[in-house]
Structure 1
Amino acid sequence: MIIILIFILGILREVSPYIFKPEPSVIDDEIQIEEVASGLGTPTCIFWASEEWLLVCDTNSQSILALELSDGIFSEPQTIISNLNNPHGVLLWEDSESSVKKIFVSQAGSLNYWKIIEGDTPLEWKFGELETIVEGVATGNHQQNAISEGPNNTLFWHSGSTCNVCVEDDERSATIIEIDILTDNYTVIATGVRNSFDGVWVPEIGYIFTDNGHDWSGESYPPEEINLLEYGGFYGWPNVTEENPNPPGSISPIGTHTPHSSVNGIDLRPKNSTLPGGEYTLYATVFGSWNTIIPVGKEIIRIDLIQNSSYSQGWEVEITVVVEELATPLPLKFHPNGDLYFAEYAHGTLYRLT
């Protein structure tokens, strides 16, 4: 009877974020939060195509949605690309010399793009033929996630592991992959990255990315990671254990967060933002865990990068929770005006932090 009760309580805990919509609690008095849009399905990515247009990955409808922001109010979302396979990343890129525009989409197992051959706004865009840069990447427990812009016409693509702990058959799994936008060539530039959801380029420092540790090693291990990219670096998975948290030849994280809490979307606070922070402040979503007895995560955190020569890469982090009691916060991006937006996966809602 007790086992059945525990099982039922476990099921209720997992489904409750999808049934009940909690009221966000802002810890930092300087921050205000408001719900600004709904009807986004199950959003896994958001991207500002301009100051007026927000693009959203919706895995419920398997599409890319577009919403217009005018005088602080969003239009109803409309589909601009459909028939996708679990889209987890979208990015608009324009060649500064030729003015060629491309929209990149990360799907389960592939990275694709379309040239935008006509139109000024997302609802007016006309696309060329579907082009594929990478395909056939293995999927399983996790899949391919965000696409982020790097320096010198490059993209960083986050490719999750197929399992909890294993040796991957596909060398592109559990990695970060660099894409040359001009040639469509790609290279694996980081390995041992179990399930990195997102990352952001920080001028003068480099590429900062999140990574989520393996499950079934107890409540208190392993922590979620904030990492600094080193080209060709190995980040420890699947060799990392509680007894050996930094396997030989691996790069340690510059910061960690609550084990199993699932740190995911991350972005750099722009200088014009009114949110608390400085030049090297990032904000991130913490989705929440199914692999702990006591629920953890479901929050927005502030991450301050601090120089520290005692760390192997010269940087450490200080983490502060700024919003809590959320349901399933996942994608997050700053607007060009400095406001911060994030979406709730379970409820298809968009929030603004100012």
Structure 2
Amino acid sequence: MHHFMDRTTCGLSTTLWTARFCGQAPHIWTTRLWPDPSAGTGHCGQKSSLADLDMNNISHWADGMAMLDHLPSNPLQEPARLAWSAMLNRYSHFQIATWGSLLVHEVAYFTICLPGFLAQFIPALRKYKIQSSKTETWQGQWHCLQLLLFSHFFVQLPMIACTYHGAELLGLNYSWETMPNWWVLLAQCAGCAVVEDTWHYFLHRLLHHPRLYRHVHKIHHHYTAPFGLQAEYAHPVETITLGFGFFLGLLLFASHMALLWAWVLCRLVETIDVHSGYDWPWNPLHLLPGYAGSRYHDFHHENFVGNYSSTFIWWDWLFGTDGAYREKQKLIQKGMNKKCK
């Protein structure tokens, strides 16, 4: 978790912090942190032993951790708790995991797509469109919506229904009391993103094999200038195989149903952003280390090659499959430098 600090005093603080992070009360036995009773030195160069770790030390660190309780409470926490409890009282686990997940997916998908959809009607935002010379027709967008809805209800819904049985096998919790803190969910979503990105890179690259591309992946590349609604526009085989990567991280990290919904939101934000066709300068996702972004993935749709990763750039960098993109960026930068002279 942290670098390995002093074995006594600093180790105790780490243990108590960990206990609070996991929602557990610190116990006396947590003070047994391999002290050196003979000649070890503790914090600030003082000799330390097991006897030094008395109740005063424990009380000191516990008081420090208790200061977090005096921070302002989240005003949305109580309404959220009541809503979650009402949901558990009214619906079965199958209904929550299946129909609840479908509702979360549909509402989130079309809500996140809305800004990009509205941007096409605002001339002032045109300068942020990556392929500014290409605009998708109403007919093209309607065609995309039709296949998208078919995929959501006849391909993805059965996959979501299977999620319930997987959750039961894994013993996922549903109760409010066992729900992880938001920062734990965020860390778990980050882990899911790394796992999904790895799966996506290698399978996506495989889908560009001529035999597979012609029959499967070509549908997703129907639109050479992507837009947000098109993010999940794909052949059913691609939806199932690439979608398997979404669930791999859940198998590793999930302990509560809340992670499924949190990961759905995070994944939709990412995939709709990279397919939006717009490079927003204020996009907070650009702050993520190694984040690919819309301009990176837009190049893939425009040129049908390279930049196979979904979220991050490191697999493309490691295997050199982003070379064409880097060369293009160098030429663009060189042209900008000439204009500035």
Q: Give the TM-score of the pair, scaled to structure 2.
A: 0.23
More helix by share: 2
